[in-house]
Structure 1
Amino acid sequence: MDFNLTDEQRMLQETVSRLVSSEYDIETRHRYAASEEGFSRDVWSQLADLGLFGVPFSEEAGGFGGGGVELMVVMQEFGRGLVVEPFLSTVVLGGGLIEALGNNGQREEYLGQVIEGSLLLAFAHGEPDSRYNLQQVETRAEKNGGGYRLNGRKAVVFNGDSADKLLVSARTSGAARDAEGISVFLVDRTAPGVTVRAYPNIDGTHAAEVYLDNVDVGADALLGEEGNAFPAIAKVARRGIAALCAEAVGAMEQAVEQTLEYLKQRKQFGVPIGIFQALQHQMVDMRIALEEARSMAIMAANADQAESPEEAERIVHAAKVIIGQAGRKVAESAIQLHGGIGMTWELPLPHFAKRLVMIDHVLGDTDYHLERFSELMETPAA
């Protein structure tokens, strides 16, 4: 397999890198994160103008037909800049579900708005008792006249406070942990019966608890065939995990680079502390962890090319585990090597560390994915 980027992919990487470098010094990022919506509408418009929102969508859907590698390139640069714009929730998860489940009319109407940057989405799937299990959905959707009535609660809905529409998973049949019987509905965030309680996460991003109390939607709010949304949810979640893995690599790159520079500049006993062998060993361990994570991010980006969905799932589980462990190693070592200054708000480093911690908990943490990987390895091949 050729791991070198094509000319087009390098151009994409350079384009995103230039924008992030010009818009995302740490003070500016703090200001964006502290705003009411938690991101910059101006930056969001610039991302749209560059065509980045069309990268993962097929040409038939109005996108550029990019694959996992193109998405990896974008997310890695976002990770280097600690970008807080809702690309993952709107484009990767929300837009991905509409492309996978929507009919021609829904794809034409909503994906066009996503690509031009005028529609923000949030995937309201996780619930208080689901513990990362994609199949566990207790929110119910019952037939009501010509439409549906939704009742339930969704937890940790990223960018749920700023989204125009929520993609709400709800059970139209079956028990709480059945893969069958799950449907996805497009719901206006401001619809009667929808309550959104927003809060900041430890890394400066935003999330929300979403309460659905007798929320009525029309039949046209249903995406895809009733009760058959889970395969698409699982596939989009895999792509979301691959995107997070790439973002984590970008954040780790910055943490490693900043730490190496600090070891060259910080002096003790009249010499740079980077000459001390013990610190050199730690630096090498950080670099090894980064390279291991980079390899797994590449595997995750190409998971959709696996021979089966089960194999793709194994690859993504393994990547999330290795990258979660590597992220913790890099974050902890970087802070230790910086000493007390490594915990100060003014230094960019601790914010990369917090983002790496947060990434580990999005769409399943290290423990969850390790358990799922083990279960799949014990399952006999069909």
Structure 2
Amino acid sequence: MDFALTGEQEALRDTAAKYLADERAHADADRAWTDVTGLGWLDPELGTVELALLAEQLGHARSPSPWWATVGLAGPALRAGGRTLRRPATLAWAEESGPGTLAALLPPARSDGDVSCTVAADGTLDGRKVAVPHAGEAVDLVVAVAGPDGVELRLVDASALHPAPSDAGPAALDPTRPAATVDLSGAASTPLVAAHASGDVLAMTRRRTLTLLAAEAVGVATRALAWATGYATARTQFGRPIGANQAVAHPLAELYGQVETARSLAYRAAWSVDAEPGPVADRAVATAAVAGREAATTACEAAIQTYGGSGFTWEQPLHHWYRRAWWLATFDGTVSDLRAELAALLLDGTTGQDAPGR
């Protein structure tokens, strides 16, 4: 393993940072997606390490782009089905009375009978999915359905559907990460991944998605830390910067170490997803997900505290990143769930679904 980024990887990261720093990158959704395609962020040549570098910058900018849902959630199934990534896409897997997390779709936790969305002989679907990320923006919708031989993944043209927003608007945890309920009754579909291969594809989907979100969390933490240290340097009281006080400086120094550790673990997980599939990658991904989520929430809270009274007002932009941090902390299970999964992987080789307390 090479612990240093290559020149091409550094150039990709720096180009992404420069592009996302421009307000025009977020002003128009259609243009932003065209730019993402033109910049090559959907190219099949990009490995998970390169995707993680992009995700980190997207988190730093708090981008509302459905890019992560396209390459993380839908990408593995679309690639496995011989499709190219050119349009916004997402994955629909959660159900009200069925699997709520990606982990619930993986062996040994998975029971094919838990998936109530079914497919008929002519390819039409019956059922609905809940909490579908970016459903309103997706053109390609990958759906986990119960087929005659088990759970399979099928492709639906989302432009013909009418998602009902379930976590969107100002009241949402993070308005830039909308979710919706999708009624699939009568929707036409085409096969992507057969039942015998869906387990492996879903496992890759979860590894890649959690890794990209761990990297995104590092970007959120980095942004919050930069704000906090900048304010601690510029804000003066009694003739000197507030950062000169140990009560301010020491927590930020400890936070820097936490963020850098989370970054290293995210890069390690990204490398493992491609190079060490299986239990080794699962352990690396779970570790990175825990570290990234905790770094993001801790960094935002520390930054709010550093700003003092002004940090607690809604006018402070930091709160938008704090919302993203909490969204990240709850996606596909909580930090406690991931810790239980990691403990099970380390202690007895089972998945987190069999860990005590799950």
- The TM-score normalised by the length of structure 1 is 0.81
Amino acid at match of 2:304: I
Q: CA deviation at 1:255?
A: 0.8
Task: Decide whether the 8 Å contact of 2:235 with 2:242 is kept in 1.
Answer: yes
Secondary structure (helix, strand or coil) at the match of 1:127 reads coil
Partner of 2:213: 244
Amino acid at match of 2:126: N
Q: CA deviation at 1:127?
A: 2.4
Task: Decide whether the 8 Å contact of 1:182 with 1:228 is kept in 2.
Answer: no
Note if 1:128 corresponds to 2:96.
yes
- Which of the numbers 137, 155, 179 marks the counterpart of 1:208? 179
Task: Decide whether the 8 Å contact of 2:156 with 2:187 is kept in 1.
Answer: no
Note if 1:229 corresponds to 2:229.
no
Partner of 1:70: 50
Q: CA deviation at 1:190?
A: 4.3
Alignment of 1:94-243 (within 5 A): 94-100=74-80, 102=81, 104=82, 107=83, 111=84, 114-115=85-86, 119-129=87-97, 130-132=99-101, 133-135=103-105, 137-144=114-121, 147-173=122-148, 181-191=150-160, 194-198=161-165, 199-200=167-168, 201-212=172-183, 214-217=185-188, 221-226=190-195, 228-243=197-212
Structure 1 residues 360 and 183, CA gap change in structure 2 (3 angstroms)? same
Amino acid at match of 1:159: H
Note if 1:363 corresponds to 2:296.
no
Amino acid at match of 1:202: L
For residues 101-121 of structure 1, give each alpha carbon's deviation from its aligned partner in whole angstroms, at most 9, with x where no partner exists: x0x4xx2xxx1xx33xxx221
- Which of the numbers 36, 41, 55 marks the counterpart of 2:30? 41
Amino acid at match of 1:340: G
For residues 71-99 of structure 1, give each alpha carbon's deviation from its aligned partner in whole angstroms, at most 9, with x where no partner exists: 12111111111111110112332222110
Q: CA deviation at 1:10?
A: 1.4
Amino acid at match of 1:72: A
For residues 224-260 of structure 1, give each alpha carbon's deviation from its aligned partner in whole angstroms, at most 9, with x where no partner exists: 2245312101102211111111111111111111100
Task: Decide whether the 8 Å contact of 2:52 with 2:212 is kept in 1.
Answer: yes
Task: Decide whether the 8 Å contact of 1:123 with 1:166 is kept in 2.
Answer: yes
CA distance in 1, matches of 2:198, 2:277: 18
Note if 1:280 corresponds to 2:249.
yes
CA distance in 2, matches of 1:11, 1:300: 21
Amino acid at match of 1:261: G
Q: CA deviation at 1:380?
A: 4.8
CA distance in 1, matches of 2:276, 2:159: 42
For residues 139-173 of structure 1, give each alpha carbon's deviation from its aligned partner in whole angstroms, at most 9, with x where no partner exists: 332433xx234222322211101211211111125
- Which of the numbers 77, 80, 88 marks the counterpart of 2:60? 80
For residues 185-214 of structure 1, give each alpha carbon's deviation from its aligned partner in whole angstroms, at most 9, with x where no partner exists: 1112244xx541124232222433334353
Task: Decide whether the 8 Å contact of 1:331 with 1:352 is kept in 2.
Answer: yes
CA distance in 2, matches of 1:211, 1:15: 36
Task: Decide whether the 8 Å contact of 1:324 with 1:365 is kept in 2.
Answer: no
- CA-atom RMSD in angstroms: 2.2
Structure 1 residues 41 and 325, CA gap change in structure 2 (3 angstroms)? same
- The TM-score normalised by the length of structure 2 is 0.87
Task: Decide whether the 8 Å contact of 1:171 with 1:227 is kept in 2.
Answer: no
Aligned length: 337
Structure 1 residues 190 and 254, CA gap change in structure 2 (3 angstroms)? closer
Q: Which runs of 5+ in 1 are unaligned?
A: 33-38, 58-64, 175-180
Task: Decide whether the 8 Å contact of 1:150 with 1:212 is kept in 2.
Answer: no
Secondary structure (helix, strand or coil) at the match of 1:22 reads coil
Partner of 2:3: 3
Structure 1 residues 274 and 49, CA gap change in structure 2 (3 angstroms)? same
Structure 1 residues 353 and 82, CA gap change in structure 2 (3 angstroms)? same
Task: Decide whether the 8 Å contact of 2:115 with 2:151 is kept in 1.
Answer: no
Between the aligned residues of both structures, percent identity stands at 29
CA distance in 2, matches of 1:77, 1:207: 20
Partner of 1:334: 303
Partner of 2:356: none
- Which of the numbers 316, 319, 330 marks the counterpart of 1:350? 319
CA distance in 1, matches of 2:67, 2:182: 23
CA distance in 1, matches of 2:215, 2:119: 39
Deviates more, 1:329-338 or 1:132-141: 132-141
Amino acid at match of 2:71: V
For residues 325-349 of structure 1, give each alpha carbon's deviation from its aligned partner in whole angstroms, at most 9, with x where no partner exists: 2222212111111112223344332
